[in-house]
Structure 1
Amino acid sequence: MKQTRLESGQLTTLGGVRRAVRRLARTHGVPAELRARLVVSVAAVARDELAEGRGVRVRLSSAGAGETHGGGEALACVLAPVGTAFEAGRRELDGLPLPATTDADGAAVWHLPPRTSGNGAAHLPDGEAVSDGEVAPAREAVTEGEAVHEELRAVLDRCDAVEAEHRLLKAELEETNSGVLALYVQLEERDEQLRRTHGQMLRELEEALRPAPLEVSGLDLAVHYAPAETDAPTGGDLYDWFRLPDGTVHITVVDALGHGVRSTGAALNVTQTVRTLALEGHPPGTIVERASEILASIDPQLLATVLLARVDPDSGEVLLANGSHPPALVVREEGTSSYLQVAGRGVGFPLPGSEDVLRTRLAPGDLLVLYTDGLTESRKDPLEGEARLVDSAARHRRRPIEEIPEAIAEDMHTVVLHPDDTLALALRVPRG
Structure 2
Amino acid sequence: MTTRNLTCATTAGLSRAVRALAREHALDPEVRGRLVLSAAEAAGAALRAGRETGLEWAYDPGAGLLTVVLRTPGDTGPAAELPMAPDAVTEDEVVWRLPAGPPVDDAEEAPGGDALAAEELRVVLAAADALTAEHRRLKDELEETNSGVLALYVQLDERDKQLRTAHGQTLRELEDALRPPLIEADGLELAVHYEPAGTDAPTGGDLYDWFVLPDGTVHITIVDALGHGVTSTRSALNVTHAVRTLALEGHRLQSIVARTDEILYPFDRAVMATVLLARIDPVTGELWLANGSHPPALLLRRDGTARYLEARGRGIGFPLPGSETPLTERLAPGDLLLLYTDGLTESRRDPIEGERRLIEAAHKHLQSPIEEVPGAIAEDMHTVILHPDDTLALAVRLTGQ
| TM, length-normalised to structure 1 | 0.88
- Are 1:363 and 2:327 counterparts? no
How do residues 380-399 of structure 1 correspond to structure 2 at under 5 angstroms?
380-399=349-368
* Other-structure match for 1:111: 97
* Other-structure match for 2:104: 123
* Other-structure match for 1:350: 319
- The amino acid of 2:142's aligned partner reads L
Write the distance in 2 (CA, Å) between the matches of 1:308 and 1:167.
Answer: 76
- Are 1:285 and 2:254 counterparts? yes
* Other-structure match for 1:185: 154
SS at 1:217 equivalent: coil
- Are 1:77 and 2:68 counterparts? yes
- The amino acid of 1:154's aligned partner reads V
Write the distance in 2 (CA, Å) between the matches of 1:123 and 1:290.
Answer: 112
- Are 1:9 and 2:15 counterparts? no
Q: Deviations over 1:376-417 (max 9, x none)?
A: 112222112112212222231221110111111112112222
- The amino acid of 2:105's aligned partner reads L
Report deviation, 1:59.
3.4
**CA shift in 2, pair 1:109/1:165, >3 Å:** same
Report deviation, 1:159.
1.1
- Are 1:409 and 2:378 counterparts? yes
* Other-structure match for 1:338: 307
For the Cα contact (< 8 Å) 1:388–1:412, is it kept in 2? yes
Q: Which moved more, 1:283-292 or 1:407-416?
A: 407-416
Write the distance in 2 (CA, Å) between the matches of 1:212 and 1:291.
Answer: 23
* Other-structure match for 2:87: 101
Q: Deviations over 1:290-334 (max 9, x none)?
A: 111111211212111000011122222111100001111111222
Write the distance in 1 (CA, Å) between the matches of 2:31 and 2:158.
Answer: 54
Q: Which moved more, 1:393-402 or 1:301-310?
A: 393-402
Q: Deviations over 1:74-117 (max 9, x none)?
A: 43322235xxxx32x543201111111326795211233x3369
* Other-structure match for 2:395: 426
Q: Which consecutive unaligned segments of at least 5 residues does structure 1 have?
A: 68-72, 126-137
Q: Which consecutive unaligned segments of at least 5 residues does structure 2 have?
A: none
Say which of 209, 213, 230 aligns to 1:261: 230
C-alpha root-mean-square deviation of aligned residues, in Å?
Answer: 2.1
Report deviation, 1:8.
4.1
How do residues 198-237 of structure 1 correspond to structure 2 at under 5 angstroms?
198-237=167-206
**CA shift in 2, pair 1:59/1:258, >3 Å:** same
- Percent identity of equivalent pairs: 59
SS at 2:227 equivalent: coil
For the Cα contact (< 8 Å) 1:380–1:418, is it kept in 2? yes
- The amino acid of 2:140's aligned partner reads A
Q: Deviations over 1:113-163 (max 9, x none)?
A: x3369xxxx8239xxxxxxxxxxxx53431222111111111111111111
Report deviation, 1:194.
1.6
Write the distance in 1 (CA, Å) between the matches of 2:304 and 2:3.
Answer: 115
Write the distance in 1 (CA, Å) between the matches of 2:211 and 2:65.
Answer: 97
Count of residues paired in the alignment: 401
Write the distance in 1 (CA, Å) between the matches of 2:91 and 2:366.
Answer: 103
- Are 1:32 and 2:29 counterparts? yes
Write the distance in 2 (CA, Å) between the matches of 1:354 and 1:293.
Answer: 14
